[in-house]
Structure 1
Amino acid sequence: MTVTRALPGRNASPRTARAINDRLALRLLQQEGPLTAGQLKELTGMSRPSVADLVERLQDSGLIEVVGEAGEARRGPNARVYGIVADRAYVAGLDIRIERIAVEIADLLGRTVARAELPVPDGADPARIVEDGLELLRGAVRGAGATALHTVAVGAPGLVDPGTGRLRASDALPAWHGHLVDEVRSRLAVPVLLENEVNLAAVAEQRVGAARHDDTFVLLWIGGGVGAAVVLDGRLRRGASGGAGEVGFLPRLGTPELPTATDCDNGYHGLVGSRALCVLAREHGVAFDGGDDADGAAAAVRAALAAGADGFLAELATRIAAGAAAICAVLDPGQIVLAGEVGRAGGAALAELVAERLGRISPLPTLVRASAVPGGAVLRGAVLTATDAAQDAVFAPAG
């Protein structure tokens, strides 16, 4: 275990000092798992009487409980093992895409207790989608046995206006995305946090994936669309208008056509988006199931890896590296994480090819890694974001 000392300010009031120590103990219980009072004493550097008072306060607040004893040979108060009351609050993560809606319910420690998914067919009535999405969320809450939600975090494609916290209207995305978020906010009457889905994927990669514990990296999302999430010095950077990472609009070299403010088909998106990659795969004779969407592009990459379609894979890696080089020239992140349906399908093999191509065109040393988040990175990032917010609110016992 990493020893962490409680260090209230020299002039902190007794109440403030107690609150600081309580919060530290809760964080240790979250990170390390259930602990005895003796272990809390060792990790916090507090005196035995202070730890005893702390444990009593947190139990009275309903935040911790006895979850066992430390060894059969030991009995009494010092042997009790304390853990966080994880069902004190539940959170939800929502991943809203054009073709589906996914939801995950988790307890206060971020442990998944229920998941559900709803396909969105082409031409579906937008009002019906919103109602079905709300029922998907409610049904998942019921399935988890949760009486109520504390916080919801939503990931969706597009720009989130930093001033309003709402999705900006876009001709490229269905309007029901924003309507669903608005209805969740109004009908559930709980805090709802909205974030670009690629940014949430980066949160997950930093906490439990390929960039775990890294302070600086860029996540490059390649799927139906193309985007990036920028993490510098431990902070997710959204930009002045919330548009940091819109790399699909990067101009392509060697062509007179340019992207426009409303259409990135002539930009980097048109080079590595799912439609372009599926066309490229067919040109190289790669046989795969599916259309030109993100799932089809992922299927094409998996088929190419299985068949040893080196020509397609080399061109794919070169195209991805072109955008990665532009990112590196501006930000020098030292690490690129390939995510999205194509990044996950390509795995370590594609990451290695991209790293080799990138090393040819960029003088900056840059690691290239494949996404390593189990399951859906966007959904996991949403749950982590909601859990952090809920813990900030719940782990604030009265001093």
Structure 2
Amino acid sequence: MPASPSTARAINDRLALRLLQEEGPLTAGQLKQLTGLSRPTVADLVERLTAAGLVAVVGESGRQRRGPNARLYGIVADRAQLAALDVRTEGVTVVVSDLLGTELTRASVPIADGTGTGLAVERAVVLVEHAAKEAGADRLHTVGIGAPGLIDPAGGELRDSSGLPAWHRRLVAALGECLQARVLVENETNLAALAERRDGAARDRDTFVLLWLGMGTGAAVVLDGRLRRGASGGTGEIGFLPVPGTGALPSATDCAGGFHALVADEAVARLAGEHGLTAPRTATGPYAAALVGAAVDGAASGAGAATRFLDALADRVAIGTASVVAVLDPGCVVLGGEIGQAGGALLAARVEERLARLSPLSTEVRASGLGGGAVLRGALLMARDAAQDELFGAPSRR
């Protein structure tokens, strides 16, 4: 059954907008060539998108640089402003961007342990408001939030999780009320996987697992191009995975006896100490990431202690990863988070070699291309996609 004229227009408009997003400004002739549409159809869709305020003439192209055929059309990036938040137990970082995801401003605020729920929420909201004002945004269209904890697959809401501050859940509602914006929240590791697939180490993979190694431990599962959350939103809670070497078992409320006890920040820092390694502490990021980075440099120059530490860390990472590989057979595991990025190709190669001994399933192991910044990037991508879906759908209703 052929599409109705309105449906055909909507399809053509979305195709043109996608091309303008991916390729940048284009002339009508270039749009005709890339879409395969007729010249009159392209002229009509350009007129519709311009009238809707979604595209505008942003320059001219060609040798003559004059006339209608030379006009370059681009998406109106300031049609909407977006915000992305990376919410950690110790603070919040926000980025404000335009509709194309170009960063306009960035800011952070620490929130210490023991800070009351109301005060913590207030500090985070004020941070976002000030960042929006600095970026010149009168109103934010969409806000994307990456946070630790489980996301309800049905309602998309952050669920109560033991060990996480109460202000995390309150913040989502508070931002929606104060900013009058659409607020979306997703598990931080899931957003990191989205970012790695779009812009990082998994750009060529439809199926992979992201193993997050940072202050905490988690995993995100992408199968056949789709992020899998599980019945309760708990897919990837690998920190609770019972593994040998911890001396205990995890419980429903505490992952201290699980995989978390082997590869999270404190555990990796202790392991480095056992090998006599030290590194300068940084103001941001897990201390273990600095230790791993120093070990990589040391191992590259032949330092024995650094090499032995990386070998021991790879042994630990491979233990939990082998269980994931045995169940999912993802073909690719990305070592994400600050520690995964700091370990780089050297740690990834060691883990891959150990997996080859532990499992008959061929698995490539890659180092993160984005590290700790993947959560914020993923939150921005989530906000950008949602805003574009809403705004770019407008021409189809004309």
Query: Which TM-score band applies after superposition, normalised by the shorter structure?
Result: over 0.9
Sequence identity (%): 61
Q: Residue 202 of structure 1 corresponds to which residue in structure 2? A: 193
Q: Aligned partner of 1:29: which letter?
A: L
Compared CA separation, residues 300 and 374, structure 1 to 2 (3 A): closer
* 1:361 aligned onto 2:331: no
**Tell me, what secondary structure is at the counterpart of 2:85?**
strand
Per-residue deviation, 1:126? 2.6
Per-residue deviation, 1:124? 2.5
* Matches for 1:307-322 after TM superposition, within 5 Å: 307-308=298-299, 309-322=306-319
C-alpha offsets along residues 107-142 of structure 1, whole Å, 9 cap, x if unaligned? 111111111111222332332111110011011111
* 1:129 aligned onto 2:120: yes
Per-residue deviation, 1:255? 6.3
TM-score in terms of structure 1 length: 0.94
Which deviates more from structure 2 when the two are superposed, residues 236-245 or residues 374-383?
A: 374-383
TM-score in terms of structure 2 length: 0.94
Compared CA separation, residues 253 and 392, structure 1 to 2 (3 A): same
Is the contact made by 1:274 and 1:294 (CA closer than 8 Å) also made in structure 2?
A: no
* 1:258 aligned onto 2:249: yes
C-alpha offsets along residues 313-341 of structure 1, whole Å, 9 cap, x if unaligned? 10000100111111100000010000112
* 1:331 aligned onto 2:328: yes
**Tell me, what secondary structure is at the counterpart of 2:146?**
strand
User: For 1:214, which of 181, 185, 205 is the aligned residue?
Assistant: 205
Name the CA distance, whole Å, in 1 between partners of 2:382 and 2:281. 33
**Tell me, what secondary structure is at the counterpart of 1:30?**
helix
Q: Residue 370 of structure 2 corresponds to which residue in structure 1? A: 373
Q: CA RMSD in A?
A: 1.6
Compared CA separation, residues 14 and 30, structure 1 to 2 (3 A): same
Which deviates more from structure 2 when the two are superposed, residues 51-60 or residues 197-206?
A: 51-60
**Tell me, what secondary structure is at the counterpart of 1:164?**
coil
Q: Residue 386 of structure 1 corresponds to which residue in structure 2? A: 383
Q: Which runs of 5+ in 2 are unaligned?
A: 300-305
Compared CA separation, residues 374 and 295, structure 1 to 2 (3 A): closer
User: Aligned pair count?
Assistant: 389
User: For 1:116, which of 102, 107, 110 is the aligned residue?
Assistant: 107
Q: Residue 82 of structure 2 corresponds to which residue in structure 1? A: 91
Is the contact made by 1:102 and 1:116 (CA closer than 8 Å) also made in structure 2?
A: yes
User: For 1:303, which of 274, 280, 294 is the aligned residue?
Assistant: 294
Q: Residue 244 of structure 1 corresponds to which residue in structure 2? A: 235
* Matches for 1:68-87 after TM superposition, within 5 Å: 68-87=59-78
Name the CA distance, whole Å, in 2 between partners of 1:154 and 1:32. 27
Per-residue deviation, 1:186? 2.2
Name the CA distance, whole Å, in 2 between partners of 1:336 and 1:115. 30
Which deviates more from structure 2 when the two are superposed, residues 61-70 or residues 179-188?
A: 179-188
Q: Residue 92 of structure 2 corresponds to which residue in structure 1? A: 101
**Tell me, what secondary structure is at the counterpart of 1:55?**
helix
Is the contact made by 2:27 and 2:71 (CA closer than 8 Å) also made in structure 1?
A: yes
Name the CA distance, whole Å, in 2 between partners of 1:313 and 1:229. 24
Q: Aligned partner of 1:147: which letter?
A: D
User: For 2:37, which of 46, 64, 67 is the aligned residue?
Assistant: 46
Q: Residue 26 of structure 1 corresponds to which residue in structure 2? A: 17
Compared CA separation, residues 277 and 74, structure 1 to 2 (3 A): closer
* 1:342 aligned onto 2:339: yes
Per-residue deviation, 1:159? 0.7
C-alpha offsets along residues 194-251 of structure 1, whole Å, 9 cap, x if unaligned? 1000000000000000001420000000111110000000000011100000011111
Name the CA distance, whole Å, in 2 between partners of 1:120 and 1:114. 20
Per-residue deviation, 1:254? 5.8
Q: Aligned partner of 1:324: which letter?
A: T
Is the contact made by 1:230 and 1:245 (CA closer than 8 Å) also made in structure 2?
A: yes
Name the CA distance, whole Å, in 1 between partners of 2:157 and 2:6. 38
**Tell me, what secondary structure is at the counterpart of 1:376?**
helix
* Matches for 1:160-199 after TM superposition, within 5 Å: 160-199=151-190
Name the CA distance, whole Å, in 2 between partners of 1:273 and 1:294. 12
**Tell me, what secondary structure is at the counterpart of 2:286?**
helix
